[in-house]
Amino acid sequence: MSRQANRGTESKKMSSELFTLTYGALVTQLCKDYENDEDVNKQLDKMGYNIGVRLIEDFLARSNVGRCHDFRETADVIAKVAFKMYLGVTPSITNWSPAGDEFSLILENNPLVDFVELPDNHSSLIYSNLLCGVLRGALEMVQMAVEAKFVQDTLKGDGVTEIRMRFIRRIEDNLPAGEE
């Protein structure tokens, strides 16, 4: 019985390592295809956004999470449910703004950067920028416009990875005239 339990753990570890290496290959190809890091960062954000737009349906179906009533509740769901479900990590939520419209997600361990070292000629590359796009895309589908950006990155020598989230506005449903 312990052999089967061990197999499941090995399978998850191998799966996460394969994901990490595949993501690394994607970023490497983008660096070859685009002339500067800023264009690569934009592409990663755009790809993440498109993933987030589609991923939210899977998340809502699998998590059984209801509608969040405020940005604090949204932050909890992102950190404690979504990150755990898809990346196997639980970031801490810190640095709330006095107005309650901004917070930071602190990742002690970013699984996307395992096995990664940034070359000196890519110092402005935001390697995990896909995550910011995923967050923006997913939250937009549940009527929340947000800004997400990296403010600290372990690949750049920081002690932790920090994603800063800022609530912009609630998106109103645009229903066709006569349909409410």
Q: Amino acid identity, residue 111?
A: P
Which of 85-89, 163-167, 173-177 is the most confident on average? 163-167
β pairing state of 102-107 and 161-170: antiparallel
Mean pLDDT of 37-66: 94
The residue written with tokens 């019985």 in the block is 1
The whole model's pTM is what? Answer: 0.86
Q: Where residue 4 falls among pLDDT bands split at 50, 70, 90?
A: low
Residue 1 pLDDT greater than 70, yes or no: no
d(CA 134, CA 112): 14
Which CATH number is associated with domain 16-170? 3.30.1380.20
Strand partners, 93: 105
Residue 6 pLDDT greater than 80, yes or no: no
Q: How far is CA 115 from CA 23, 25, 68, 147, in A?
A: 11, 12, 36, 28
Query: Which DSSP string do the residues of 1-47 spell out, in sequence order?
Result: -HHHHHHHHHHHHHHHHHHHHHHHHHHHHHHHHSSSHHHHHHHHHHH
Domain boundary assignment for the chain = 16-170
Q: Is 86 exposed, middle or buried (0-12, 13-18, 19+ CB in 10 A)?
A: middle
Which residues, in sequence order, are CB contacts of 110 under 8 Å at separation 6+? Answer: 89, 128, 154, 161
By the 8 A CB rule, do 107 and 133 touch?
A: no
Residue 10 pLDDT greater than 70, yes or no: no
Residue 117 pLDDT greater than 60, yes or no: yes
Strand partners, 107: 161
Residue 15 pLDDT greater than 80, yes or no: no
Determine the pLDDT at residue 66: 87
120-160 pLDDT, tens per residue?
888 899 999 999 999 999 999 999 999 999 999 998 989 99
- Percent with pLDDT over 90 in the chain: 65
